[in-house]
Structure 1
Amino acid sequence: MTSIGIEATSVYFPKGIETAEILAEKTGIPEKIIIEKFGLYEKHVADETMQASDLAIAAARGALNKIDPLSIDVVIYFGSAHKDYYVWSCASKIQYELGTKNAYAFEIMNVSASFPIALKVAKDMLKADESIKNILLVGGCKDSQFIDYENPRSRFMFNFADGGTAALVMRESATSEILESAIITDGSFHNDVRIPAGGSKHFASMETVQNRQHYIDVVDPASMKERLDPVSLPNFEKVIKQALQKSGLALQDINVLLPLHSKRSMFRELLQRLNLPEEKAVYLDHHGHMSALDPCIGLHFASQQGKLKNGDIAVAVSAGTGYTWAATVIQWKGENGL
């Protein structure tokens, strides 16, 4: 069977930086708490000149260094739903700006869970359609823009940050092989986290702007916590174990974990459940949480930092409000960085 893998990754971060000290001033939360509990020393923020599509394009140019843009067959945007415009596909802009004019383009959306799912979609497309040779996965995020630091209900999202990333998926990759995936959705959380206004339910108006309804909000934080805490870490563990089992592997085979950025206690408890030391994971405490981008960025960093060697197993794992947990297993082949 033809192996399908990630041949190259790339990342891009805007120049603007908000440190824990700056966030402490904005939120009233002590700097020490932001560093130790939120797990965040600093994060990148984009200015008004760069939108989600621009961050995605800037990142994708690096992944295309190894290939002629005209040889890309499909461009898939898996980044933030908070894009340049609503009811608008940035995939078409990305396809055009990158010069991948032989590719068709579309978007997939499952908020922060999207990267492990995008890997599965790309692999399945390549397996099902022999005419497809190369797929470019690309994501951008400007989610720092919709955080209301004066709203304590959105406190757990104060780590939201900006950036871009991309992954080139192809047949017979010399660098890696995408193995199996596992996904869980618990739709009972569908109504917990959202931007209240701007969609069809509460169309934008003077009133919605005055009421600050265009920032992300949590309907009832106490209720969500009560329902989410008992299932979140078990579901993370479950999708990781299932993806490994489907790949003929087990927890002890993991060499590198590539999770989304979360509070430090959750990160450490997940590692404890998996019996992994912190040095076997990539924790984005100088970047924050960038929607679905985190595991792809983590893979890029793991490669650049020499954390992956030939034959090693990496697991990209993430979760998105709604709530979906997803994991995809990657086997490393390359000796050099992506």
Structure 2
Amino acid sequence: MDVGIAATGVFFPPHVETAKDLVEKTGIPEEIIIEKFGLIQKHVSDSSMHASDLAAQAAKSIVEKTGAPAIDVLIYFGSPYKEYPVWSCATKIQYELGLENAFVFEIMNVSSCFPIALKVAKDMLVSDRSIGNILLVGGCKESDVIDYKNTRSRFMFNFADGGAAALVQRGTAKSRILGSSIITDGSFYDDVKVPAGGSVMPASIQTVQERLHFLDVKDPQGMKKRLDPLSVPNFVKVVKTAVEKSGYSLSDIDYLFPLHTKRSMFFELLEQLGLKEEQAVYLDRYGHMSALDPCVGLHLAERQGLVKKGDLLVTVSAGTGYTWAATVIEWGG
């Protein structure tokens, strides 16, 4: 049964922080931010916009074109950092978009979640004929949870804000969602987290004073030592497995939509997959937006006319914890 992405949407808050702005915040030289972090600029929202608002803005054009009554399910796949700590923003998004016929839920696996959300949506449409249209929505305001004075969290200084959405539909001629592959190594569960605000360390005056409500890395060197031998090989493995489950091989890939990483990892991944730089979208003008990156990359590539009928596309991402995920799409034009 053919299930594919029928439309995508994105939204970026108007305020932009450049590499030069980050020099003032971090003390890191501008050339390192651009060349090593791979960041020319990124969008950052003000206090008036939250993850749910960014997600809803990204989905508006899709809802206007499809019609609110046609949306059967809304799935939030974006950042876990939202307006409130114990709260579903999917219900707010459903209400604000007027999707009265849609039931909603959230899936969260930090930055790895878009390829997983595609698989979940496809599997739901295949298994349940009463569902015709699933709207995937994600928002990210993770620039809020970065402490630029904490060098342990240095690899997350590229975190940015935005919204992304994708309409997954049965029988669309636009594309076909094919195979997926997911790897999780739970030994990294304690490496990256916001220490305070949960049941282990409830919020207090002390946790605020000690700046424990920002993302932190428990042992950067220890994590790097364990993660470096695994990261790119696991990226390659999920891509290879997803492509082969789809009936293709790595040499058939036309375009890759990865999460935003440091530039050296991006090029290493391309080399391992046998791809050229022009066969991937690198978000150096947008930064890393949690799970949104592959969806944003796909949207930008389509708008720029980079993908064509018959192309084999791969969305791939990874999230702390640690999970790697890839989903293959055959583009219909």
What is the TM-score of this pair, normalised by structure 1?
Answer: 0.98
SS of the residue aligned with 2:294?
helix
Instruction: State whether structure 2 residue 319 is matched by structure 1 residue 314.
Output: no
Equivalent residue runs for 1:234-253 within 5 Å? 234-253=233-252
Question: What does residue range 3-22 of structure 1 map to in structure 2 within 5 Å?
Answer: 3-22=2-21
What is the aligned partner in structure 2 of residue 263 from structure 1? Answer: 262
AA aligned opposite 1:77: Y
**Which residue number in structure 1 is paired with residue 40 of structure 2?**
41
**Partner-residue secondary structure (3-state), 1:112:** coil
> In 1, Cα distance between the equivalents of 2:146 and 2:57?
24
Distance 1:86 1:104 in 2: 22
Gaps of 5+ in 1: none
The RMSD of aligned alpha carbons is 0.5
What amino acid sits opposite 1:237 in the alignment?
A: V
The one-letter code matched in structure 2 to 1:329 is V
Distance in 1 between residues matched to 2:8 and 2:84, nearest whole Å = 26
Deviations 1:100-138 (Å, cap 9, x if unpaired)? 110000000100000000000000000110000000000
How far off its partner does 1:65 sit? 3.2
- In the TM superposition, what is the alpha-carbon distance from 1:26 to its structure 2 partner? 0.5
Q: Residues of 1 paired with 2:96 and 2:176: CA distance?
A: 28
> Do residues 194 (structure 1) and 193 (structure 2) align?
yes
- 1:273 Cα deviation after fit: 0.4
Aligned length: 333
- Aligned-partner SS, 1:331: strand
In the alignment, the residues of structure 2 paired with residue 36 and residue 65 of structure 1 have an alpha-carbon distance, to the nearest angstrom, of 40
Mapping for residues 203-218 of structure 1, pairs under 5 Å = 203-218=202-217
What SS is found at the alignment partner of 1:92?
helix
Q: Which runs of 5+ in 2 are unaligned?
A: none
Partner residue in 2 for 1:333:
332
Alignment of structure 1 residues 63-74 onto 2, 5 Å? 63-74=62-73
1:156-175 → structure 2 map (5 Å cutoff): 156-175=155-174
Contact 1:73 1:103 in 2 (8 A): yes
State the 1:64 CA deviation.
1.9
Q: CA deviation at 1:66?
A: 2.4
**1:32 maps to what in 2?**
31
Given that residues 5 and 177 in structure 1 are in contact (C-alpha distance below 8 angstroms), is that contact kept between their aligned partners in structure 2?
yes
Structure 1 equivalent of residue 278 of structure 2: 279
Alignment-mate amino acid for residue 10 of structure 2:
V
Aligned to 2:183: 184
Whole-Å separation in 1 of the counterparts to 2:61 and 2:220: 40
Instruction: Report if the CA contact (8 A) 1:76-1:137 is conserved.
Output: yes
- State the identity as a percent: 67
Q: What TM-score, normalized to structure 2?
A: 0.99
1:11–1:62 contact (8 Å) kept in structure 2 = no
**How much does 1:237 deviate?**
0.1
Aligned residue for 2:122?
A: 123
Q: Which runs of 4+ in 1 moved over 6 A?
A: none
